[in-house]
Structure formats: C-alpha cells, structure tokens
Structure 1
Amino acid sequence: MAGPPFAAGILPFYYTAVWDRLQAKPGGGPLAQAAGFRYTESYITDAGKWGKEQAMNETLSSFLGVRPGVTALVGAGGKTTAMLTLAEELAKAGKKVIVTTTTHMFLPEEQRYGPVFSPEDTAGIAAALERTGLAVTAGPMDARGKLTGVSDKQVDNFLTLADYVLAEADGSRRLPCKTPGEHEPALPAKTGLVVAVLGLSSLGRPLEEVCFRAELAVRRLETQPDSPLTPEQLARLAAEPWGLAKGSEGRRFVILLNQSDACDPADLRRVVRAVKETSSARVVSAALKKKEWKEESIC
C-alpha cells in the first residue's frame, strides 16, 4: 500500500505504519473514504510530539452544512452529542461558539465545556469565548436538574458575541425518536439551519417504548403503540411537515440519523430511500460516539 503524501514545510514526518493502519479503520484514509466515510484522523509527529489533525472539510459541521449564525437541533437519539461535537469542532477551528437551549437541556460537563453562564452575563460569556472559543449559556436549573431556555432577544445578543450559536430546540426525554408536540419546536427566530436528529436504535422496537410523544406518533403514523417501528415510519417522523421538519420552512434542513452502528445497513437504506421519496433534505448517517459520519444517497 502506498504511503502518505508528504506535505513539505507542513508535516516534517508522517509515520507510515500508522498511515497504513488507518486505511483499514472505519472513517480513516482513502480506502474508507471510498466506502463512504469522509471523517479521517491523521496521526502526525512534529518535533517528536504526537498530535491529531482533523481537516475541516471532513468534520460533522461540514457534512451538515453548518454556517455562521444560528443552528437549531431538534429530535432525539443524539441531539446533545451532535451539538457538543459541532461546538468542539468549530472552537478547535478558531471560531467562537455559544451552546444554549430554547427549552431544557442537561448540564454539560464543566471540566470539558466550562461553567454555564447566565444569558445576562455578557462579560463572562465574552471572556470564555476569548479564552477557549466556547461558552455554554442557559437559564437557571429547574426542579428536574435541567437548564432552562433562553429568549429570542438573548439569542440576538449572543450573535453579537459569537460566530456560531448552537441551540437545542426541543425535548426528547432521552428516547431515540420523537414527534413534536403542538408547541414544538422552539426555534430561535434567526435560525438558519435546522438539524433533525433521530436514533436508528429505535427501529424494530415498539413505538411506545422508543418514541417521545408516542401517543401523537401513533395517530400520525396510523399504527398501534406496540407495533415495531419500521424504517418507513422513522423516515416520516423525520421528514413530514408534522414531523421534525416542522418549522423548517424557509430554512435549510438536514436529517442526521445517529446510531448507524446499531442498525442493519439494509434498514438504513430503507430509511434514506423513504426520506428521499418525499423530501429534498440532505441525509447524514452517523455513529457519533465513534466520530463516524457520511452523507447518504440512493444508489
């Protein structure tokens, strides 16, 4: 197998054995890219120190089409993980990123993401952005131990401080799929991109066990609470105007199917095919905890 290209003046040394090993790693190297994965990790050494380089055109943010401004995440089955992955990527790229919620959100790890700032603490938020590129801000914690949401006016203020605002815009009770309630989603007025997240681990399991607001989903899908969720039904939960596409009119909309490592590839293809039959939305599949993702298309 050919070794890695040498980038004169950029990488003084590229360890070929590691390069060869990465070719076989899911999501690593040209061979994996040919199989559909475009997330790669290249381990390099510079002055004797090992590091990890991730090209921006291979990040989750590039696959989802995240641009400066407000990105709202809705759905279930990896929404918070997706948001924090995006935040880390963008901050590492030198951007200023604010993470927030318009509804409720569990407290992120302070050791990893820093303290949670009050939306009114502009000075504290600005200082965190200067220091690390990342700030988490939300309203006070409720009785369930979840952070509460911010207002449109506060989001507007965030846009004067940061390049990107990432906002959780609905709830899911930690279930892998959902359908929105009448009051959902709570999209900030200036949302430019809506990312709809669903967990593929919900497939084949009783709707009442895996779906938040299952009673609404039963009516909308015209099925039974104990019926196993099919790929076509999951596609409808994602792409129907009453589903996670709700409120995305006039905005960019992308579907993120998480937990692809817990799903039969044939079932994933059925979900994608069903989405594409009714929607022009981009579909990205991912195993977020493994940092693997790819754009899906119909072959």
Structure 2
Amino acid sequence: MDVLEALCAESGLVAVVGAGGKKTTLYTLAERAAREGHRSVVTATVRIPIFDSAVERVAITEEPLETLERSERWPVGVVPEREREDRYLGYDPSVIDELAAADTAGPILVKADGARTRDLKAPDEHEPQLPRTVETVVPIASVQVVGAPLTADLVHRPERVAAITGRELGAPIRATDVARVLASDRGGLSAVPEDATVVALLNKVDDSDDRAVGTEIASDLLDRTDRVSHVVLARMIDDDPIVDVVHAGNGVL
C-alpha cells in the first residue's frame, strides 16, 4: 500500500505525534506527496530541528500563506523563526488552522510534539499542540522499545509512561505497554479532536521479529479503542516503507 494512503495523508491537515520517527515520517510523506503533484507543506507547532535538506526550501515567515501562494517547487517548509543554529520554532496552532482553511491543495504536515529522539513517549500537560481543525493524527512508537527497560534512555518522560501502564521504572517494556500508551487519552490520543481520524504508526520494523512484535502491539491497541482507524507497521527509512496494515477484526492486510 502507498504510504500516503496508508497514513491517510494524501491531503488535508495531518499532525504527527509520539516518538520513534516523527521527522522521518513527515519528510517522507512530504516528498511522496510532491512526487505525485501535490503542494505538500512541512511545518510545526513546536520546535523542529533544521530540515532544509528534506524539502525544496524552508521559508522563515510570519505570513506562511503568502509564501505558499508564491511557491513553485514542492515540498515547502514554513516556520516563524529560527531559534538557534540547530532548530526552528513552530507556529501557534491557530496559524496552521488558517493555512488549512485556505486550502493549499496538498497535505499540511505538522510536527505537533517533541520526543528528543526517543522511541516511546507520553505527553506532558501542554502537549501535543494540535491545530483545532486537524483531520488526521498519527501517533508513533518504535517497536524496538519492546524488551528495553522503562528508562529515559529510550523513553521520553518515562514516569508518565509508567503511570499509564502501571509498570515500574526500569521494568522491561512489553508490547501491551506500548499499546496502552498509544490507546490512552494521556498518551497517543491526548487532545485529539473527536472528529479526527487516528492512524497509529509502529515504526522501525526491521525484520520478522520486529514484525511479530508490531502485529502484537497493533492487535492489542485495536482491542483497546475504536478511536484508532488502523495501525501501520513500517520502516520509514525505506523507499517502500509499509510492512503491514492492521485493521480491527480483519487482521493484517
């Protein structure tokens, strides 16, 4: 299955949250959309590392819509300010809502929280920073966190993950723990509008063992909530990143 179709990111306002591949996912979706002739946009409502090499250009602007209207090459990145040498700031979510209302004729891809390069996270009270009109939310986790200890080495805010899962800090992370986090209103579903489509992404599926772990997480997750449309297993650094798509009651496609 095409990655844009699998993640419901062919158009509209798409926000990526969680840990384990947000930036790679954003850039992959933007490139694929542009390749198919869509005016794809990468932006953020939080800090985002410098990503000039992942798009045709990045515009630092307080008027992102005007920038997009003048653009001729895609994908385009828009940000309000360069905070320091290695990262940009993000817009207030209301600015992204205005972009979406203007209909840029392609997906607006938004980094809506941070994870400090970890593989699993639970958000703080102020996260995620989702635009009000977001259409698709993609909560991400890496399958490779399963079996690792619940510590800050691979988990962002491990104490919050512990609170959701009931596990002690330092305990081995289980597949069911990842599913609990992604299914929780204090985890992957935090602040997600009721009318938004939710597609969970399990990333870093590098081999058959990872695939089995991902399938276990996906089945558990879909049993826990009907808010998740389906679960995508992927290796987002690949040219053909989709490994499997799991739907409730229908198994793996």
TM-score by length of 1: 0.75
Which residue among 133, 136, 149 is the counterpart of 1:206? Answer: 149
Which residue among 114, 117, 120 is the counterpart of 1:177? Answer: 120
Aligned to 1:125: 68
* Equivalent AA in structure 1 for residue 80 of structure 2: G
Q: Does 1:247 align with 2:195?
A: no
Report the Cα offset of residue 121 of structure 1.
5.1
Contact 1:99 1:137 in 2 (8 A): yes
Report the Cα offset of residue 111 of structure 1.
7.1
Report the Cα offset of residue 114 of structure 1.
1.5
Equivalent residue pairs, number: 240
| SS of residue matched to 1:264 | helix
Q: Does 1:228 align with 2:172?
A: yes
Summarize the alignment of residues 14-29 of structure 1 with structure 2, pairs less than 5 Å apart: none
Summarize the alignment of residues 142-221 of structure 1 with structure 2, pairs less than 5 Å apart: 142-143=83-84, 145-159=86-100, 160=102, 162-163=104-105, 164-208=107-151, 209-221=153-165
Q: Which runs of 5+ in 1 are unaligned?
A: 1-37, 39-58
Report the Cα offset of residue 189 of structure 1.
1.1
Compare 228-237 and 66-75 and name the one that shifted more: 66-75
TM-score by length of 2: 0.87
Summarize the alignment of residues 1-299 of structure 1 with structure 2, pairs less than 5 Å apart: 38=1, 59-110=2-53, 112-120=55-63, 122-128=65-71, 131-143=72-84, 145-159=86-100, 160=102, 162-163=104-105, 164-208=107-151, 209-248=153-192, 249-261=194-206, 263-280=209-226, 281=228, 282-290=230-238, 291-293=240-242, 294-297=244-247, 298=251
Report the Cα offset of residue 67 of structure 1.
4.7
Q: Which consecutive aligned stretches of 4+ in structure 1 deviate over 4 angstroms post-superposition?
A: none
Contact 1:73 1:167 in 2 (8 A): yes
Higher Rg: 1
Greater share of helix residues, 1 or 2?
1
Contact 1:106 1:147 in 2 (8 A): yes
Q: Which runs of 5+ in 2 are unaligned?
A: none
Contact 1:119 1:154 in 2 (8 A): no
Change (3 A) 1:219 1:68: same
Change (3 A) 1:141 1:157: same
- TM-align CA RMSD: 1.9
Compare 274-283 and 113-122 and name the one that shifted more: 113-122
Instruction: Spell out, residue by residue over 1:89-128, the C-alpha distance to the aligned partner (whole angstroms, 9 max, x if none).
Output: 1111111122100011111134743133313254433222
Answer 1 or 2: higher relative contact order, Cα 8 Å, separation at least 6. Answer: 2
| Percent of residue pairs bearing the same amino acid type | 24
Instruction: Spell out, residue by residue over 1:273-295, the C-alpha distance to the aligned partner (whole angstroms, 9 max, x if none).
Output: 21121123210000111132131
| SS of residue matched to 1:188 | coil
